[in-house]
Amino acid sequence: MTPTQLRAFASVVRLGSVKAAAAALGVTEAAVSLHVGQLRKELGDPLFTRTGSGLAFTPGGLRLASRAVELLGLQDRTVLEVREAGEGRRMLRLASTSLFAEYAAPGLISLFADRAHDLDVELSVHRAGDFEQLLLTRTVDAAVGPWPATSDGTITSRLFLNYQVLTVVGPGHPVTRAQPSLAMMREQTWVLGPSAADDAGVVPTMVQRIGVPEDRQQIFQSHAAAVEETKHGGGVTLALGFAVAQDLSSGALVRVPGRGLAGQGSWHISLLGGQQATPAAEEMARFVTTPRATQAMLRGGAVSHGRFKPAVHVTLWS
């Protein structure tokens, strides 16, 4: 078995078809079929068969799928550790939701990096629903966002910060003249950050609870851009309470009161359990709960990426 063969088979299992696996890997369907065929021949097992409703995996195929994820994750981790050892540096691969990445991550990473000059931090933005798979495949070392769905002990999570999401508008917006009903709020134009398109979290939950029609939603590339548009009368937005506190105080934004127009959220840091987490991930999990880290995150919106000492790579995933 080779890593290429295992990666092809693991992609077929994860995506449910040879065609989808080929597209994800950037190779031809024939290449994926060839790798799977070589595994079948070597292991003496068909691994899966095609049915009218998709692929049906044999017991051996399911066992190989589980082992392939472990082996590929171990390979990636080994390559990373060898490279880090050769360069005298460590790497922390941190996944987060877009809301945390934009507002809290800059201050946290900047302060964390000041404590460990041999550490590089790679930050990537993902949907919260992808965190479990990213951790189990060792694609990332830690993930920050809502509490993960898993409860079997393979992933451990720790709460480190609660936050509030408020409905806000610019001064002079019609909804500020009287406490609006939800029906009135549904008729407004909503300018929202990328977290509104996530599959979990406070913002998408509030959008759904309020019942905002899709044709009334405008999704911006950043939450800051949505807030700026709102200041100029562009519509209604959902914003982090601590991030817009100064604008509310100065009158640049106005909070819209009403039932369902405010929400409470929490950020958790999740990593592999059972002593499988990397030392850097465990170090971050301890640090993120400290008062200094909390203060840095609450001030994080004012920290420029250019001030980061580590190499920070932000990847947006749709």
Share of the chain above pLDDT 70, in %: 88
Please say whether the beta carbons of 203 and 174 come within 8 A: no
CB neighbourhood size of 255 (10 A): 16
CATH code where residue 240 lies: 3.40.190.290
Q: Give the model confidence (pLDDT) of 282-298 as tens digits.
A: 999 999 999 999 999 98
Residue 86 lies in a domain: no
DSSP SS3 for 17: coil
Residue 213 located in a structural domain = yes
Residue 318, domain member (yes or no): yes
Q: What angle do CA 268, 207, 176 make, to 5 degrees?
A: 115
Residue ending a domain, among 34, 56, 81, is 81
Pairing mode, strands 142-145 and 155-169: unpaired
What's the farthest any 2 CA atoms get from each other in the chain?
74
Other Cβ atoms less than 10 A from the Cβ of 266: the count is 13
46 within some domain: yes
Domain membership of residue 53 (yes or no) is yes
137/241: higher pLDDT:
241
Least confident of 51-65, 80-94, 257-271: 80-94
Percent of the chain scoring above 90 in pLDDT = 32
> Which of 73-82, 84-93, 141-150, 308-317 shows the highest mean pLDDT?
141-150
50 and 12 in a single domain? The answer is yes
Same domain, 122 and 249: yes
pLDDT recorded at residue 314: 37
CATH number of the domain that residue 35 is part of: 1.10.10.10
Total domains, the chain: 2
The verdict on 154 and 299 lying in the same domain is: yes
Kindly state whether residues 160 and 284 are assigned to the same domain.
yes
Domain membership of residue 207 (yes or no) is: yes
182 and 70 in one domain?
no
Residues 70 and 159 in one domain: no
- The string over 283-312, giving b where at least 16 C-beta atoms fall within 10 Å of a residue's C-beta and e elsewhere, is bbbebbeeeebbebbbbbbebeeeebebeb
Q: Are residues 98 and 232 in the same domain?
A: yes
Do 10 and 140 belong together in one domain? no
**Beta carbons of 14 and 6 less than 8 angstroms apart:** no
| Three-state DSSP class for residue 181 | coil
Read off the pLDDT band of 175 (50, 70, 90).
Answer: confident
Do both 115 and 161 map to the same domain?
Answer: yes
Give 177's pLDDT tier (boundaries 50, 70, 90): confident
Distance CA 18, CA 51 (A): 13
Which pLDDT belongs to residue 300? 57
Whether the CB-CB separation of 226 and 237 falls below 8 Å is answered with: yes
Final residue belonging to a domain, choices 81, 101, 119 = 81
Cα gap 264→221, rounded to integer Å: 23
Cα gap 248→229, rounded to integer Å? 15
- Of the three residues 24, 54, 81, the one that is the final residue of a domain is 81
The verdict on 161 and 276 lying in the same domain is: yes
Q: Are residues 77 and 207 in the same domain?
A: no
Q: Cα dist. 223→31, 203, 246 in Å? A: 42, 11, 16
Domain membership of residue 190 (yes or no) is yes
Distances (CA, A) of 268 to 134, 145, 158: 15, 5, 5
CA–centroid distance for 121 within its chain: 15
Residues 51, 160 within the same domain: no
Instruction: Provide the domain limits for residue 299.
Output: 91-318
54: left (phi over 0), alpha (psi -120 to 50) or beta: left
Looking at residue 311, what is its pLDDT?
35
Distance CA 278, CA 280 (A): 5
Average pLDDT of the segment spanning 146-171: 84
Which tokens is 49 given? 């068969």
Q: Which of 19-23, 189-193, 218-222 has the lowest mean pLDDT?
A: 218-222
